[in-house]
Amino acid sequence: MKNSEWHTSARSRWEDNADHWHSKSVEMWTSGSRRAIIPFFTKHIERGDAVADLGCGDGYGSFLLFEKGYVVTGMDFSEKMVKIAKKQERDSLSFVQGDLRSLPFQDEQFQAVMAINSVEWTEDPLHTLNEIERIVSPDGYICIGLLGPTAHPRENAYPRLHGENVICNTMMPWELEKLAGEKGWKKVDEEWVYKKGVTSSLTETLPSELKQALTFMTLFMFQK
C-alpha cells in the first residue's frame, strides 16, 4: 500500500471507530487492558512536566495524566476523536489533531511522550520513532505501549496474507526494543500486560522475551 493510501485508510478507520472507542474508554483505562499504564508512567516522570499523548483517542488517558499533575497535550489522527477529547480541555490539558508522520510540535518541546497502541497504525515505524525523538527534550522519556502477539487487534494485519492492503503493521515488542536500542535510547523499564487467565505466578520466572511473547501489550519506558 502506498503511504498516502495507508494514511487515508487509517484516518477513515479511526473516524468510523470513534464512538465505539469512546463508549469503552473509561473501562479500559480504569479496570481493563490500560489500567497499568498511568502507574507505570508516573513511576518515572516528574509531576509538572510537559507531556504529549500521541494517539490519545477520546482523551481519557490524557485526562488521567492531567489529574496526576502533568501539563498534557493530547494528539490524535481522527478529527472526531479530537472533537470528543476537547470537551475535557482546561488549563494544562489541551488537544490537537495531528499525524505521527509529521508531528505538529516543536523540536524538544516535551519532557516526556506517551504513545499507547499508536505506532502499530503507522506504515513506517522507524520514521515515527524519529519524529517522537525530535519532540522530546534531551534525556527526556518515551513511554510506548505496543500490542503483543496475543492481542486481538493484530487481526487487522491478517489480510496481508491474502495479498490485501492493511493498516496495522506487524512489529513485535522485541523489534521495537531493538529499534530503540539502535537509536541509542536507554530502556529504563518494561512491564507486561496479559489477557485474563495469565497470572504473575505463571510468568514471573520467565525471561523478558518469553514474557513479551505472551503479552496483550508490552509497556516500555525509554530515555532519549
Indicate the number of domains in the chain.
1
What residue has cell string 516500555?
A: 220
Distance of alpha carbon 206 from alpha carbon 16, whole angstroms: 40
| pLDDT by residue, tens only, the chain of 224 residues | 455 677 777 777 777 777 878 889 999 999 999 999 999 999 999 999 999 999 999 999 999 999 999 999 999 999 999 999 999 999 999 999 999 999 999 999 999 999 999 999 999 999 999 999 999 999 999 999 999 999 999 999 999 999 998 889 999 999 999 999 999 999 999 999 999 888 888 999 999 999 999 999 999 999 99
- Asked whether the beta carbons of 203 and 211 are under 8 A apart, the reply is yes
Cα distances from 93 to residues 61, 63, 69, 72, in angstroms, run 11, 7, 10, 5
- Count the neighbouring beta carbons within 10 Å of the beta carbon of residue 222: 26
The domain that holds 126 is classified in CATH as 3.40.50.150
Domain span at 126: 3-223
H or E element, residue 93 = strand 93-97
Tell me the whole-structure pTM to 2 decimals: 0.93
First and final C-alpha spacing in the chain: 31
Nearest of 60, 56, 50 to residue 24 by alpha carbon: 60
